[in-house]
Amino acid sequence: MRKKFLGKWLLFLLLLGFSLFMSLKTPFIIFCLLFWIFLSVFTISFSWLAVVFLCERVQLERKTTLRVEEDDTLKISLDIKNGGLLPVFDIILKDSLTCASSPEKDVFMVPEVLMPGATCRLEYGCLCPQRGRYNIGPITAYFFDPLGMFYFKKVYRLYSEVYVYPRTFRIRKFPSLNKGTSPLLGVETSRVSGDDDEFYGVREYKRGDPLKKIHWMVSARKNQLIVKEFQRQSFFRATIMFNLNKEENLGEGKESVAEYIVKIVASIAKYLTDLGVSIEIISHAGEVVCIPFNKGQEHLEDIMKFLTIAQAESRISLFELFTTFQRNILEDSSLIVVMSDKNKAFLSTMLSLGVQNVSLIPVLIKSSTFVKGAGAQIPGKEHETGMPENINLKPIYIARKDNLAEKFQT
């Protein structure tokens, strides 16, 4: 903004200086008149802006959705209220939309004239191309004098946290899952009513009970630790495991192995949540992340928030991640592994979970298709071979540029 006004200020000062010089050096009254006109314009404009600076009471409130998916439009509304005694006009607002692409990060708006006590609302938005957690803001207001000669700016430190979730695709069919019958908290009961893991009652805390199961309101009332109990029922449980290894993250931007893994995991989690499956996430993305078994939309939100910020920063192998958490995988459940095909040799180790009645569902990313210069060519079936002879599995193979929804139709 300052660069746009430097030329205007320089021209005005040249005219003011020239008229003063000519009025002193020549008898022509016109130059003296021009000097006083320019000086009066300067004084009035600057004085008006000084009064606005001292008296303005503009209040801003931004409202926006908390989450969108990649390539969706984030809708924003900005409420503006003039709480001062002077009308507000000739004002430009700039909002910093950090979730937008580079050319659209700064949005400029010109609100209507605001009389004292009046309010108005501006509607705008931006396309969010990349998943992530963003803080939108601040808002910068530029106040101008009536002639547009001078301005001052005010920064409103209004920030809004927005999650841009990974884009999901529709899954029509998925391999069969194993169904377990173990209770979530070891309740010895055969009653069955309602959904899986249904709340059954409360009891006193016992050593080894998870802290997250403590019923804090009842504990405070009874002055002792009380935990929630759940019924013994049969239900589907699935562990989704993946590793965002930095060295294996071939490709760039959205066309990278890590982005495909995140998109696939998000879509599978959404699909299983809609079916009422209890889901656990085991991952490594710079650090170990374990989201324990649970169901419902709130649990899906926790998973999506993690996938939103997960980056390919892991320095360990998928094999190391599996061996670390192998004992945590429950009996009579399913293990869904989304990984690069470079790790398919580890599948034989994962099949050892079969003694616990754990079904293995591998989704393999064809890493060779993400190599720079590979182009958009989609490999044929010959690239889906090479499984070890002792492995009787039919993985779901994913290549770059694949239609992911079609891959989960059969």
- If one counts every other C-beta atom within 10 angstroms of the C-beta of residue 274, the result is 11
Reported pTM = 0.75
The domain defined by 58-165 folds into: Immunoglobulin-like (2.60.40)
pLDDT for res 103: 83
The one-letter code for the residue type at 373 is G
* Domain layout of the chain by residue ranges: 2-46, 58-165, 183-233, 234-407
pLDDT for res 183: 46
pLDDT for res 345: 85
Residue 195: pLDDT over 50: no
Residue 350: pLDDT over 80: yes
Maximum alpha-carbon separation in the chain: 111
Distance CA 391, CA 183 (A): 32
Residue 175, SS3? Answer: coil
Which of the residue ranges 178-192, 235-249, 367-381 has the most confident prediction, judged by mean pLDDT? 235-249
Render pLDDT for 10-42 as a digit per residue (tens, 0 to 9): 766 777 677 777 777 777 777 777 777 777 778
Nearest to 307 by CA among 163, 129, 159: 163
Distance CA 242, CA 326 (A): 13
pLDDT for res 140: 95
Render pLDDT for 303-348 as a digit per residue (tens, 0 to 9): 999 999 999 999 999 999 999 999 889 888 999 999 999 888 888 8
Nearest to 234 by CA among 307, 333, 367: 333
Render pLDDT for 78-100 as a digit per residue (tens, 0 to 9): 999 999 888 888 899 999 999 99
Sign of CA dihedral 336, 277, 407, 176: positive
Residue 143 Cα distances to 54, 57, 114, 245, angstroms: 12, 12, 13, 50
Q: Report the pLDDT averaged over residues 375-379.
A: 49
Residue 184: pLDDT over 50: no
Render pLDDT for 213-240 as a digit per residue (tens, 0 to 9): 888 888 887 788 888 776 555 578 999 9
Q: Considering the domain delimited by 234-407, tell me its CATH architecture.
A: 3-Layer(aba) Sandwich (3.40)
Render pLDDT for 263-290 as a digit per residue (tens, 0 to 9): 999 999 999 999 999 999 999 999 999 9
Q: Do 312 and 135 contact (CB within 8 A), yes or no? A: no
pLDDT for res 29: 77
Nearest to 88 by CA among 58, 124, 109, 131: 58
Distance CA 285, CA 268 (A): 18
Distance CA 80, CA 109 (A): 12
Q: Report the pLDDT averaged over residues 131-143.
A: 94
